[in-house]
Amino acid sequence: MNADIPDEVDLEEQADAVADFVEELLGQMDIDAIAEPAQQGDRFYVDILEGPPEDLALLIGKHGQTLDAIQELARNVVGRRLDERIRVLVDVEDYRKRRASRLEERAREAAERALATGQEQELEPMDALERKIVHDAVASIEGVQSGSRGEDPNRFVVVSPVD
């Protein structure tokens, strides 16, 4: 077994540690919600649940930016505590799943426009994980291709017809 790839027990322990940290953070923010470790397939994540809708919206932030910051903070702090790289995602009531579905739909719409007009279509700036979701969705559509342009944090996906 490769020592660089954590086994399922390690990831489960990481998820528990991240959930504990997020619960501490929620308490310090005076937000009454639960941080629940969970597993979907081979991925572990911590889902923040059961809080007042306005608090959950605050935790997500615009386009998930606050959620990304919470995840990065949790990964760094817990990573230092455990002295290992943390590979656990943090989510708020499945926001990331809903966002992925919306991005896949936007990718399909951009592909349809590119095929109909013969012109490339630019999507809004997004982070690397979101761009990957779009690239994967476009890759499954015949007659179009995708690429990224720009520099972070303004990097975006371009969908164009295949020549």
φ, ψ for residue 43 (rounded to 5)?
-105, 140
Instruction: State the pLDDT confidence band at 6, using cuts at 50, 70 and 90.
Output: very low
Q: Are residues 65 and 96 in contact, defined by beta-carbon separation less than 8 angstroms?
A: no
* Per-residue confidence (pLDDT) for residue 42, from 0 to 100: 73
Q: How confident is the model at residue 145 (pLDDT cuts 50, 70, 90)?
A: very high
Terminal alpha carbon distance of the chain: 44
Q: Is the peptide bond before 161 cis (omega within 30 degrees of 0)?
A: no
What are 34-74's pLDDT values in tens digits? 999 988 777 788 999 999 999 999 999 988 999 999 999 99
What CATH fold (topology level) applies to the domain 98-161?
Ribosomal Protein S8; Chain: A, domain 1 (3.30.1370)
| Amino acid, single-letter form, for residue 55 | D
**What span, in angstroms and rounded, lies between the C-alpha atoms of 66 and 163?**
40
Helix segments in 29-127, DSSP class H: 53-60, 65-82, 95-117
To which residue do tokens 């975006």 refer? 156
Average pLDDT of the segment spanning 93-103: 93
Is 135 buried (19+), middle (13-18) or exposed (0-12) by CB count in 10 A? middle
How many percent of the chain have pLDDT more than 70?
94
- CATH classification of 8-93, choosing from 3.30.70.1450, 3.30.300.20, 3.40.605.10, 3.40.50.300? 3.30.300.20
Q: How many CB atoms lie within 10 A of CB 64?
A: 21
Q: Which of 38-52, 73-87, 117-131 has the highest mean pLDDT?
A: 117-131
pLDDT, mean of residues 131-151: 98
Average pLDDT over residues 104-112: 98
> Start-end ranges of CATH 3.30.300.20 in the chain?
8-93
Mean pLDDT of the residues in the chain: 91
What residue spans in the chain does CATH classification 3.30.1370.50 cover?
98-161
Query: Cα–Cα–Cα angle for 64, 66, 68, nearest 5°?
Result: 65
